[in-house]
Structure 1
Amino acid sequence: MSLQIFILGVLNRAEHHPYDVKKMILDNTDNVVNITDGNLYYNFEVLTKKGHIEKVQVVQTDNRPEKTTYRITESGKKALEEEIYASFKNAKTVLSLYASIAFIDLVDKSRLAFLVEEAIEKLQKRIAMVEDKLTTKIPDGIVNKPQRYGRFIATHTLDTLHTELKAYEALLEILRSE
């Protein structure tokens, strides 16, 4: 998941401080994302230096660390859109798209659908290639341990690719229905 996409997307909806964003990430990913405070604050700093977000207010309360509230800039809104498209274009798995999927309402869904269609075509080609390897007949009596292990790996790869394909097809259906 791209932390910067998630930060920009959240700030596109409202002003927040980093702790709020961290809580939203954990709540929206069922705590499966490992996010450290250092990583979170580093990404806020990077986005601030790029001019994609800016500080709005710093509040200091008794015996508490100061809270800095941020908002997205116009540059950040453009960067968010570009990053969402780039993530779909370069996605290796549906899992890598989680942050972008959370904010697809901010971009052109037909453009995303086209990118998902391309991903589906690539997956179908990979599936065909793995299936071809699995259906290659090994002469009787020649199956050795490395070949058995290779078949196990190819079968697992094929199962994983089919799962990814189903997820991409479901995502495409969602994009087309809106």
Structure 2
Amino acid sequence: MERNITWHQASVSQKDYRNKNGHHSGVIWFTGLSGSGKSSIANQLNHLLHERGIHTYLLDGDNIRHGLNSDLGFSAEDREENIRRIGEVAKLFADSGAIVLTAFISPYQKDRDRIRASLPEEDFLEVYVDCPIDECEARDPKGLYEKARQGHIKGFTGIDSPYEAPIDPEQVLHSFDYDVKSCADQLLVLLEEKGWI
């Protein structure tokens, strides 16, 4: 297929945005089972960073499926495309000088690795929100595990579809042992250590 497109170089660079904002930009990729606390922790961290005057944006799995990815289902192929699109959007936000927080189950290692490889090494932080599946199922904030157990949802991650835990994430948060605020505080320390804030 012939593609008559060329990259248009912007006159304002990522470095310019970062200098104006006074902080690093990049992608914080939250991954974990449904009910592990990804969205809650990402929201709390986003709030804490906003209070500090940090330019951020939060991309949440359910919210994205209401709009940008409303045409996708939950097959392996659609999940891959879901994550690919999110990765591209996250890169745009990072290029604009923002710290973008993404909260997605993103069950496959290869999909997360593809996002990581598309960014400079220092611009991607993988955060594994580790919570035992029995605890996630006990929380079941959206009632999805119950529906999956009853056979109303097919291909549900952790039940009849696999979840591949990160091999070497920058941070593991044990959301069964620590509350949302404590987990967000751990990430603030990581961001300070990495020189993002």
> Normalising by structure 1, what TM-score?
0.29
- Higher relative CO (CA 8 A, sep ≥ 6), structure 1 or 2? 2
Q: Which has the higher helix share?
A: 1
Q: Which has the higher strand share?
A: 2
Larger Rg, first or second structure (1 or 2): 1
